[in-house]
Amino acid sequence: MICSLSDALKIVFPFQNKSMQAVIFKQIGTPPGNSVVLTETMVSYLKNVCIKTLVLAENDIVGLAPNILAAFHNAHCFNTIVLSGNRFSMISGSNYGLFFALLNQLTNLEIFDFSYNPVKYNKIQYLKIPYVCRTNHFQPLEEKKLIQEFQTPRHVKRKSDHGNQCIESKLKSDIQDRPHKTFALPNKLHTLRMSYYLSVDGYNNQRLTLKNVSNLRHLDFSYFQMNVFKGITFDGQMNLEHLDVSGIDSKLLLETPFFNSITSISTLIMRDANLGQIFRDSDLVSNIVSTVNKFDISGNSIWYMNEFTFSNSKKLKHLILSNNILLKIPLAVTHIDTLEILDKADSILIDELTLFKTLDKWATAQCKLKDKNTSGEEKRQELGPLLFQVRIPLIPLQTFSDEIVGTGILTNHEQLSLFKYYSGVEKSATSVCGFCLKPRRQKIEDWTMEKSKKRSYIANW
């Protein structure tokens, strides 16, 4: 019977001097209140096996013993390492140095996941890679394929650990003024994830620089205690395709050199990043979105956007604005010529007719910019799938007849089907010609933007 991680690691004894595709040890039984420090003895058999994928997750690992790096003969074999869901902290000076020293030995490492440390989460989200999430083939480096559907853990609870009561004061005294640190990442590393890594205060003066970053394509620091590495910078040009810095105060990123080396991002995720104030200064945002194709800024309490916020955007097709407090579609958004999807804008206080008219004006402007006539057919071509964001069946019949039909944006078939729906000839439970029937409105009490006590409604796209 395997009762501990130490016992589990002995299983690989018969495979010494051989190759293995994967070694997966997740949630190996550890008595409550206990912790695991990986020692040279514990990994003695593991060191002699050539392993491609190593997963030591949710095992209460708190650190590395000083001699852990000795005689690690097959470090070059590792392609993927997952250490998520443990109790490993950078608060110890020895852990800090050994951690990056170990990374430096992993010359062929391509994927490294060190998330959900050092406290326990009820739900842990893993990278969608072979052997970890029951998938047989590695998916392309796209957010929707590499990462499982995101669900924020409902709450965090501390793992019991003797001496927790005094840990914060000890850390502050030990590392408050730690000097500038520079660490080199493995040359082949293309995916680095340190999501939901928490720590205490006391690192505010620390500066961290990462080297060998040219091969990084997927970087996830979401909900990382970013004030730990307030001065994080990258040495050299980066070629990132996906960057997630959700949950980190945007001022720490936009007002420091963080984005200076990042010039090729296709997907940028900045959820819960306190962008509400930042958007009043268009320069701070416009300079980082020139190459972005998908931009997620949901949950930022955004109530205003400078008209020129997206003035440098040349490729933005997918904008996610949900869970903000916008009173209408911002003018800055209507200036995005390449926009195809305005996703889940449940933050916009707007009715269907106003939304339709806004899109009509936008399409008219696009036609003029391209020297096209402003006929309904041409405007429909410009709108594309954006038109189906309007829930036209929710508009009253008389308003539909007076305000919508005359624009010529709807096809004859769509107009006929909608008239049949209004008259009761045809009924549908979900949509009419692709136009959703479900009411988008969600009641919000005590709206903070209004002095009156009237109920307001938030559009829920």
pLDDT in tens, 419-448: 999 988 877 778 899 998 887 654 333 333
Q: 114 pLDDT exceeds 60? A: yes
Return d(Cα 355, Cα 427) in angstroms, integer: 24
What pLDDT score does 413 carry? 93
Residue 459, token pair as written in the block: 């559009």
CA-wise closest residue to 327 among 352, 356, 303: 303
What radius of gyration, in Å, describes the C-alpha atoms of the chain? 26
pLDDT band for position 57 (cuts 50, 70, 90): very high
Return d(Cα 326, Cα 454) in angstroms, integer: 18
Return d(Cα 359, Cα 351) in angstroms, integer: 13
Average pLDDT over residues 55-60: 92
Give the highest mean pLDDT range of 19-23, 174-178, 199-203, 435-439: 19-23
CA-wise closest residue to 129 among 199, 190, 207, 212: 190
Q: Within 10 Å of residue 3's Cβ, how many Cβ atoms?
A: 11
Q: What percent of the chain has pLDDT over 90?
A: 33
What pLDDT score does 266 carry? 94
Lowest model confidence (mean pLDDT) among 76-90, 101-115, 258-272, 341-355: 341-355
The secondary structure of 253-287 as a DSSP string is HHTSGGGTTB---SEEE-TTS-HHHHTTSHHHHHT
What pLDDT score does 404 carry? 95
Q: 136 pLDDT exceeds 80? A: no
Lowest model confidence (mean pLDDT) among 7-16, 146-155, 181-190, 315-324: 146-155
Angle at 456 between CA 455 and CA 461, to 5 degrees: 140
Task: Match 């070694």 to its residue by tokens.
Answer: 23
Which has more confidence, 391 or 450?
Answer: 391
CA 359 centroid distance within chain? 29
Residue 163, token pair as written in the block: 């001496």
Partners of 431 in beta bridges: 436
Helix (H, G, I), strand (E, B) or coil at 19: strand
pLDDT band for position 116 (cuts 50, 70, 90): very high
Average pLDDT over residues 1-13: 84
Instruction: State the first-to-last Cα distance of the chain, in angstroms, to the nearest integer.
Output: 52
Q: 146 pLDDT exceeds 60? A: no
8 Å CB contact between 224 and 253 = no
What pLDDT score does 320 carry? 93
Which has more confidence, 457 or 410?
Answer: 410
Q: Are strands 435-436 and 431-432 parallel, antiparallel or unpaired?
A: antiparallel
Return d(Cα 194, Cα 116) in angstroms, integer: 8
Task: Match 């209507």 to its residue by tokens.
Answer: 334
Angle at 411 between CA 405 and CA 415, to 5 degrees: 50
Q: What sign does the CA torsion over 245, 248, 254, 260 have?
A: negative
- Residues sharing a CB contact under 8 Å with residue 79, sequence separation 6 or more, in sequence order: 52, 53, 108, 109, 110, 111
Lowest model confidence (mean pLDDT) among 42-51, 230-239, 447-456: 447-456
pLDDT band for position 193 (cuts 50, 70, 90): very high
For 228-276, how does the pLDDT look when each residue is reduced to its tens digit (9 = 90+)?
A: 555 678 888 889 999 999 998 888 787 677 887 788 899 999 999 988 8
Helix (H, G, I), strand (E, B) or coil at 85: coil
pLDDT band for position 90 (cuts 50, 70, 90): low
What pLDDT score does 454 carry? 31
What pLDDT score does 440 carry? 63
Average pLDDT over residues 86-93: 72
What pLDDT score does 127 carry? 87
Lowest model confidence (mean pLDDT) among 10-19, 228-237, 301-310, 426-435: 228-237
CA-wise closest residue to 320 among 251, 268, 250, 383: 268
Which has more confidence, 363 or 165?
Answer: 363
What pLDDT score does 444 carry? 34
Q: 70 pLDDT exceeds 70? A: no
Q: Is 21 exposed, middle or buried (0-12, 13-18, 19+ CB in 10 A)?
A: exposed
Which has more confidence, 337 or 141?
Answer: 337
Give the highest mean pLDDT range of 29-33, 62-66, 254-258, 315-319: 315-319
What pLDDT score does 265 carry? 92
Residue 115, token pair as written in the block: 């998330």
Helix (H, G, I), strand (E, B) or coil at 95: helix
C-alpha distances out from residue 31 to 27, 43, 326, Å:
11, 20, 50
CA-wise closest residue to 62 among 109, 126, 14, 118: 118
Backbone angles phi, psi at 200, to 5 degrees: -95, 170
- Residues sharing a CB contact under 8 Å with residue 206, sequence separation 6 or more, in sequence order: 175, 178, 180, 181, 228, 229, 230, 231
